[in-house]
Amino acid sequence: MTYPKSSFLFSLLLFTFSFAITAQEVIPDNQHLFDNFSYRQGNVYRSASGKPGPEYWQNSADYNLEATLDDKTHTVSGNVNIHYTNNSPETLDFIWLYLEQDRFTENSRGTLTTPVQGNRYNGDVEGGFELNNVSAKTKTGTSSKYLITDTRMQLWLDKPLAAKGGEVDIKMDFKFKVPVEGMDRMGRLDVKDGTIYAIAQWYPRVAVFDDVVGWNTDPYLGAGEFYCEYGNYDVKITAPADQTVICSGILQNPKEVLTKDQQDRWAQAEKSDKTVYIIKPDEVGKPIAHAKTGGALTWHFKMENTRDVAWASSKAFIWDAARMNLGDGKTGLAQSVYPKESDGKTAWSRSTEFTKGSVEFYSKTYFAYPYTNAINVAASVGGMEYPGVSFCHYQSKGADLWDVTDHEFGHNWFPMIVGSNERRYPWMDEGFNTFINHYSTVAFNNGEFPTTTDNPKSLVRYLSFDQRESIDTYPDVAHPFNLAYTAYYKPAAGLYLLREYILGPERFDNAFKSYIHTWAYKHPQPNDFFNHIENVAGEDLSWFWKGWFYGNGNIDLGISEVKPSQGNYLITVENDGQIPMPVELQVIYTDNTTENIKLPVEIWQRGNSWQHLLKTTKQVQRVVLDPNKMLPDVNPLNDTWNKLQ
> Given pLDDT bands bounded at 50, 70 and 90, which one contains residue 15?
very low
Mean pLDDT of 437-461: 97
Nearest of 232, 206, 231, 219 to residue 92 by alpha carbon: 206
Higher per-residue confidence, 38 vs 131: 131
H or E stretch at 495 = helix 490-497
Does residue 21 register a pLDDT over 60? no
d(CA 109, CA 103): 7
Length of the chain: 645
Largest CA distance in the chain: 109
Own/partner contacts of 425-429, CB < 8 Å, gap of 24 or more, are: 425/472, 425/525, 425/526, 426/223, 426/224, 426/225, 426/475, 426/483, 426/486, 426/487, 427/471, 427/472, 427/486, 427/487, 427/490, 427/491, 427/549, 428/524, 428/526, 428/529, 429/225
Question: Which stretch of 18-22, 189-193, 515-519 has the lowest confidence by average pLDDT?
Answer: 18-22
Give the whole-angstrom CA distance, residue 15 versus residue 410.
66
pLDDT reported for residue 24: 57
pLDDT band at 588 (very low <50, low <70, confident <90, very high): very high
Q: Which residue has the higher pLDDT, 5 or 473?
A: 473
Compute the distance between CA of residue 316 and CA of residue 109 in angstroms, rounded to an integer: 35
Give tens-digit pLDDT for 258-306. Answer: 999 999 999 999 999 999 999 999 999 999 999 998 999 999 999 999 9
pLDDT given at position 37: 81
CA dist., res. 222 & res. 334, Å (int): 30
pLDDT of residue 39: 84
pLDDT score of 18 more than 80: no
Instruction: Determine contact, residues 155/95, Cβ cutoff 8 Å.
Output: yes
Are 528 and 519 in contact, with CB atoms under 8 Å apart?
A: yes
CA–CA gap between residue 427 and residue 431 (Å, rounded): 4
pLDDT reported for residue 14: 46
Give the model's confidence band at 122: pLDDT under 50 very low, under 70 low, under 90 confident, else very high.
Answer: confident
> For 533-557, what is each residue's pLDDT tens digit?
999 999 999 999 999 999 899 999 9
CA 554 to CA 178: how far, in whole Å?
45
Residue 566 has phi, psi (to 5 degrees) of 50, 50
Res. 10 pLDDT band, cuts 50 70 90: very low
pLDDT at 26: 63
Break the chain down into helix, strand, coil percent, rounded to 5.
Answer: 30, 30, 40
> Among 486, 478, 363, which Cα is nearest to 431's?
486
Q: Quote the CA–CA distance of 490 and 497 in Å, as a whole number.
A: 10
Q: What is the pLDDT of residue 12?
A: 43
SS3 letters across 259-304: CHHHHHHHHHHCCCCCCEEEECHHHCCCHHHCCCCCCEEEEEEEEE
Distance CA 526, CA 539 (A): 17
- pLDDT(512) > 70: yes
Closest CA to 531 of 509, 551, 514: 514
The dihedral of CA 135, 136, 141, 144: what is its sign? negative
Query: For the ranges 116-120, 191-195, 321-325, 622-626, which has the lowest average pLDDT?
Result: 116-120
Sheet holding 152-161, edge to edge: 146-149, 152-161, 92-98, 205-206
Under DSSP, the state recorded for 179 is P
Residue whose C-alpha is closest to residue 46's, from 171, 193, 210, 184:
210
Nearest alpha carbon to residue 80 among 152, 148, 124, 129: 129
User: Which of 56 and 644 is assigned the larger pLDDT?
Assistant: 56
- Local confidence band at 25 (pLDDT 50, 70, 90 cut-offs): low
* Dist CA 473 CA 486 (whole Å): 7
pLDDT at residue 22 greater than cutoff 60: no
Strands 244-247 and 214-215: unpaired
Is the CB of residue 203 less than 8 Å from the CB of residue 61? no
What is the C-alpha separation between 284 and 51, in angstroms, rounded? Answer: 51
Residue 162 predicted with pLDDT over 80: yes
Eight-state DSSP code of residue 486:
I
Q: Which of 37-46, 97-106, 114-123, 371-380 shows the lowest mean pLDDT across its residues? A: 114-123
Give residue 495's Cα distance to chain centre.
13
